[in-house]
Structures are given as C-alpha cells and as structure tokens.
Chains A and B, each alone.
Chain A
C-alpha cells in the first residue's frame, strides 16, 4: 500500500472525475485539477468566492463550483481552460447546485426552496420547477440519467414529479401517501422509486416508473421510523434502517420483508467474527517526554491492530438523550457491496461498531469494533472490500479474508475523516480536516493483508 503526499484542501471538496482520470480539489477559492496517477497539477482555476460545493459533470469535461453565500455558480472546462460560465441567482439566493445527468444543465435550488432553476449550458433556456420540497433527499436522478424524481409539497400534501432529463418534460406527477416525505431514491434499474416518510411515521412506498403504487411497507407504528434507506446494486433488495436499531430487507418481487437484521448489545453468534481494534501506545522518546508533554498525541506512536474476540461479546452502547430530537439511535448508515453480497451497517448508539451482513445467508458475518466512533465507511466499487475510518490516523480495511489496519504514514498526524474509493478500486482518497491523501492499493491482494492482520 502506497500513500501519496498530503495535499491541502478545504471543505472536504475533493472529487475524482467520473472517468477516473482527474482529481479536483478545492483550496479556499481555488480549484485545482490534478492527474490521478501522477498527482501533477494540470489546471488551476480561481473562483470569486470560497467554494461551497464542487462537482464534476458526467462526461468529466466540466466542473461546477458553487458559492452559496454569493449565490454564484461557476463552471469550468477542462478542455478549454479559458471557457467560463457564471450563473448568478441574484437576490433569491442559492442553497444547492447540481449537474443534470447529461452534463449540460445545472439545477440550482434557491434559498428557502422557493424553486429549482434549471440552467442550460447548451441553449438559452431556463426552466423553473416550483414547490420543491425541503427534505433530506428531495431530488434523485435515475442511474441511466433518463429521469429525475423531485419531491414537491403543495397545500400540505406531498407529490412526486418525474421529469425526463432530455427536455425536462414532466412525465408524471402524483401524490404520495406520506405524511411528510423525507426522501426518495430510484432503484438502480430505474424502474422503481422508493419514497419514505419522515421519522415520525414508518412508511416506505414503492412506486413504479409510471407512477403506480406498487407497495407500501410499514413495520410498526408510533415509534420513530425510518432513518436510512438504500437499494442493493442489483435492485433485488431494499434495505431500510430504522430508529429501533433494526434493518429490514425487502425483496423486489413481492416487496415484503424477507428478513430483519438486529443490532443487539451482546453478540452470541458464533459464526460471526468479531474484530476488536486494540490500540498500543508506544512512547517515541521517553527522555524528551517532559519537554514535549504539552504537545499532542502525535508524539505517541499509536499502533493499532485487530484482535479477534471470542463470543459472547459485549458492545459498548451509548444511550441517547431521550428529550432531544433526532436521537443518536438507530441505523443511520447502510451500504451494499458492489456485488450485493454484503451489507455494512452502523447503529448510532453503537457508533464505534460496523456490522457486516452476508446477503446470501442473511446472517451476520463480521463485527468491527473500533476504539472511536466510525466516521465513514465505503465499499470498494469492484470487489467486496470495505474501507472505514474513525477520525484517527489509521485506515481500516475489511474483506471476507480478514481485516487490516494501516497507519497513514504522514508527519504531523493526518486525521482521516472521510474516504472515497476510486472507481477502479485501486486507490482510496482519504480526506482529513484540511488535508487530502491518496492511498494506492497493491494489485496483489495478499500484500494488503500481510502485516497488522487479524485473519479468521
């Protein structure tokens, strides 16, 4: 495993282009485009204000930089560096900005979600979409880029509008049976739209592409409901994580629950492997300790490794404050592996634990208990390999063969706060607070899992 040098970035805005060749990072008001393999700076653009959001177009030719405070969006071209485009939303303000799937339109959501403006970069046409809903996930594009689903709220009722991305033609507009729509997501095959209600009511509705209600699922009443929803890449499963610390899996044929995964605080399952991260602190120089004692923990060489715990295992649970809204309890993160074989979940009141479930056997495969709360985890887009980080200087990888914890070798301590896989699965982008580091995996799998490994 090789680590690149550390680069500066701001706002966690670092994205690899969809074709995987370029890496764009934002440093304050500058946009830096590098080559992914050599990390050489190819282009450098300067925006008018600090960049709040940055995104690549789908054809990897353009990058949009949104500055929400100023209400500006600037679009840069890689091929023609002197091409410029500036979209000013004026006094109406800007809350979010995104590309359309064809890479030629920009959708800006104005402040207070008054409307969504569709700017075209090809024509002079401007479209407006009224009453967009301000919710967790109000807009979703289908994977093939043909359709866009938008959540609307009119007269205290929720609607979903389906637009054809070609010409922004409204294909379907239907009311949903939700109290307060919280989000919607297309299935990967683009034929089913999953719509879920806010946490006050457990309701997941499945609509077909043409607007028919296929099925409604509600696991229970009254208690706080759905926290997170995700489709499996093969569109066969819909995983629903809820506040009752369970994940329910629906199947695509009958839309009924086929199984539910629970996150108990004590694990008795002998088939699951429980990896526990154990930290070993070795002081660097004990003689100089007195002098450097005020300096932070960077002095201590904290090496951590995984140990396999025999069952039964107790998981540390943090009880959330019952009086606060959006309590830190329930399954908030779900991710399927690219082959839909594994599902990784995180339960918020056991924030330092990641659970990995096998979808073929519908059972728990591994539990990874870290020393601090897990910040981010993501599956390798090509193989069943999970990378996670907990905000310290270590990168953790799990695969069915075993677990690795790798220290990110940088001076000054690089706290990994989030990570992103490259679409080839060969490298990982690690984002710290203001830093960025690329980690190149060895193509030979065995090299990865040689040192610091706890294997089954």
Chain B
C-alpha cells in the first residue's frame, strides 16, 4: 500500500483529471450510471481512499470535518458532520450519512435540473434550427417574390408602353376618321349641290318641253345673211371625200411626228451636251488623279488596272469612233460606269487628303499650341499686370486731380499753391524781364548819347555854317557891284538877308556839300525852319549822312 500511495499523488492527479475528464465528457443522462459504474469499477475502499487520501488524512480529520462542515454550510445543507469522539479518528455515523444523503439529494436535484436544462437546450436548438430553416426558406421566398415583382413591373411597363402606342394609334386613326368624315362631308355636299343643279336643270327642261308642247309655234332656227363670205384663205371649199379624211389623218400624224421630232432633237442635243460634259469631267478627274498613281503603285494594283482601262478608253481620239461609241448602249453604260469609278476614286482620294490634312492640322495646332501657349500665357499675364498698373496709376492721378478740384482753399493758400506751381516760370519770366529792362536801359542810354552827340554836332555845324555863310557873304559882297547898296541895306536887310541867306546858305551849303553846283538864283522853297528843339531823326541822319538826301 505504501508503494501505491507513493504513486497515488501522481496517479490521483491523473485520476482526478481522468475523473473530471470522464465526468466532463459523459454529460449524458447515463453519466450518473457511468459515475456509479466508475465508482463501482474502482474498489470502493480504494475510491474513497482515493479521494479521501488526497484531502483527508489521519492527522487532519478535524480540519477536514470543519472544512466539510463549512462547505456544507455554504451549500445550504443543514446537516453537518461530527466527529464520533472529540479528537477521535472516526465520524458520527448519523450526521455523516445525513450529510451524504443531502449531498446525494442535492446531486440528484442538480442532475435533474441539468437534465432539464439539457432538454431545454435541445429543444431550443431544434427550435433554432427550425427557425433558421424557416428563415432561409422565407428569404428564398422573398427573393423569389421580389423577382416576380420586378418581372411584373417589367410586364406592366411594357403594357403601359403598348397602351401608349395603342392610344397614339387610336388618335391617328381618329384623326384619319375625322379627315375622312370631313372628306365624305365635302363630297356629300358636292354631290348634293350637283344633284340639285341637275334637278333644277331637269325642271327647266321639263318646263321648256311643256312650254313647247303648248306653244305650237315652233320658231325655226335660221340664219339670215346678207351675202355669204368667202373662205378666209380665198380658196374654194372642197367636197368632203374619203381622200379628204385620209388627208386629215395624214395631217394630224404629220403634226404629231413633227412635234416628236422636235422634242427628240432637243433631247438629243441636251443629251449630247451632257455627255460632253461628262466626258470632260472624266478627263479632268483622270488628270487630277493621275499624278498620284505612280506612288501607290504596289498597293493599288486594281487602280492601275482601272487607269489602264480608262486610258484605253481615252485613246480613241477620232470623233467618229467616239460618236459611234456614244450612240451605242454599251458605250453609254461604259461611260457612266467609268465616270462613277473615277468619281469614287476621286472621292476616296479627297477623303484621304482630308483626313491627312486634319491630322496634320491637329498636329500642327497641338505643336503650335504647346509652346506658344505658355509664352502666350506669360505675355497675357504681363500685359494684365501692366494694364493693372496703368489703371492704378490713372486712378491715383484721378484721385489727386479730384482732390485738387474738390478741396476749397482760401484765396491765400490757393494763390500760394498756384504760385508754387508757376514758380519756376515766374522766375524765368523775371529773369527775362530783367534782361529786357537792362537792354532797354542800355539802349536808352546810347540813344541819349547819340542824340546829345547829334545835337552837339548840329550846333557845331550851325556855327560852322554861320561862319561859312558870313565868309561867303563877305566874299559875295566884295564881288558884286552892288556892294554899296548891299552894304547900305545890308544893315537893314542884314537880318533879312541873313534870314534869307540862311536858308540860301544852307541850301548852298548843302548844295556845296553834295554837288557843288552854283545855282544861286534859284531859290527853292525853304526847308522847314530849324527848331530850337532837337532836330528830327531824319534830319539828323541826313546831316550825319546816314541816309541819302531825297531829291
């Protein structure tokens, strides 16, 4: 037993596990039986020992008992185990058995509840299964019904469409019926109108007939001509003979034939013209297409074939053959076909060219757009900025101008401000004025000097002239035989003579000055007398010989 006990801890643990595992696995109602069988399988003493030996030993019986009592209390069982004797190794049998019984009752109850629960769970599982199955079935049903519904919708829509078309058909039919009704009404009114007219006419006819029957006097129809006229063409009229009728027929057919011939001629002319035009078109088309022919020689084998064919056609140049061809049905067809061919070729060519051109165009455009777009954008930006700046500038200017115009200053500051603006100009002007004044003054000064000089000169001249005059007078007086008279009257007429002679002298002096002529006898009108004042400028100049003497 000792060896068994030593191996038991290991084994008990295993055994516990085994038990627990076994008890865990077999949760079936037969578990109890199994447990019982398990219990019965192990020797009872061994099992009890097996269990107790792990928990309770000879030494810790009271502790075990207390522990078990605690457990029993905690389980809510009333009975408790007592020791048979205090400190003894045995147990009192009755409480132990009661405890055991109670535990067994508890266990039984637990088992039954467990069973119940298991049953419940089973039920619930089956119910769940059932419900799940139902659910899936219902889902399927729902899907089916949804599909059905959409199908029905579809049919409904189609039916609606059909209804609409039917309605429109009905409308058109109704309109048609209306139209036909109106037509029928129109026809009916027309018929009734005609019928009425005919009836009226019949009535008139009947009346006339009755009138004629009554009125026996039948007014015969007659013609009353003064004299019969000749035929318009002057010829005699012919008898009506069979030849005449045949002649008429012949005339009629002739005129008909004439008309047909005329129309045929015009149609032929038109036809010939059109054919000519077609031929020309064909030639031109070939001409247009032919330069292209050499390049796609390999690819367009049939083209070249056609070209050869058409060339063959073109070769007969003499007109007779052509006209012959033209009149022939086959030639006509051939011409039409060749025109069609050429036109098709031309059209394909044009389409190719068009596509190429569009491709190139798009390429070009895309290329062009790639680069210039950016520069274009930059340019645009720059220009926009410039414009903005200019605008701002103008705006500022405008503002300032407005400010200036709007603000009301008092006169002083305004004047001052105005002065500020015109300061520079004023300065310049002042300078110029100053210069001007200076010049003026200089001029005046010179003029004054000039005049003074002139006056002095004049005086000196006068003095000189006086001297000269007196000398000449003396000379003259000495020369003449009338000197005594002259002398006598000289005192009287001294002044007169002097006066008279002064202009004379002056004249003579001037004469002497200029031409030194001696025409003393002539006394020209005296010049305006000298004034005490400053002589006139012209005189001055004249004396100064600045200007020639005007004679």
Contacts and interface: CB of A to CB of B under 8 A. Distances in A.
B225 A85 contact: yes
B221 A90 contact: yes
Contacts of B182: 322
Interface stretch (A7-15, A22-30, A119-127, A292-300): A119-127
Nearest to A144: B255
Contacts, number: 123
Contacts of A326: 190, 193
Given A85-B225, A171-B248, A191-B260, 9 more contacts: A84-B226, A87-B221, A90-B218, A112-B204, A123-B237, A164-B252, A169-B240, A322-B186, A325-B193
B131 interface: no
A210 B253 contact: yes
Given A209-B256, A253-B263, A327-B186, A200 B251 contact: no
B185 interface: yes
Interface string A67-106: 0000000000000001111111111110000000011100
Q: Give the size category of A's interface with B.
A: 35 or more
Given A89-B221, A191-B259, A122 B226 contact: no
A124 B226 contact: no
Interface string B146-190: 000000000000000000000000000000000010110111011
Nearest to A58: B232
A325 B238 CA distance: 49
B224 interface: yes
Nearest to A120: B228
Contacts of B222: 87-88, 90
Interface string A203-230: 0000011100000000000111000000
B222 to A, nearest CB: 5
B231 interface: yes
Contact of A122 (B194, B208, B229, B251): B229
Interface of A: 59, 82-93, 102-104, 111-112, 117, 119, 121-124, 126, 146-147, 164, 166-167, 169, 171, 189-191, 199-200, 208-210, 222-224, 252-253, 322-327
Nearest to A212: B256
B418 to A, nearest CB: 63
B223 interface: yes
B225 to A, nearest CB: 5
A71 to B, nearest CB: 8
Contacts of A191: 255-256, 259-260
A189 B256 CA distance: 10
15 contacts: A83-B226, A84-B225, A89-B221, A90-B219, A102-B231, A112-B204, A112-B205, A167-B238, A200-B191, A209-B255, A210-B252, A222-B183, A322-B182, A322-B186, A327-B186
B267 A322 contact: no
B364 interface: no
A166 B220 CA distance: 27
B428 to A, nearest CB: 69
Nearest to A87: B223
A169 B253 CA distance: 15
Contact of A86 (B219, B224, B238, B248): B224
B230 interface: yes
Contacts of A325: 189-190, 192-194
B480 interface: no
A126 B223 CA distance: 10
A117 to B, nearest CB: 7
Interface in B207-221: 208, 212, 215, 218-221
Contacts of A59: 232
A124 to B, nearest CB: 7
Given A123-B237, A169-B240, A209-B252, A223 B190 contact: no
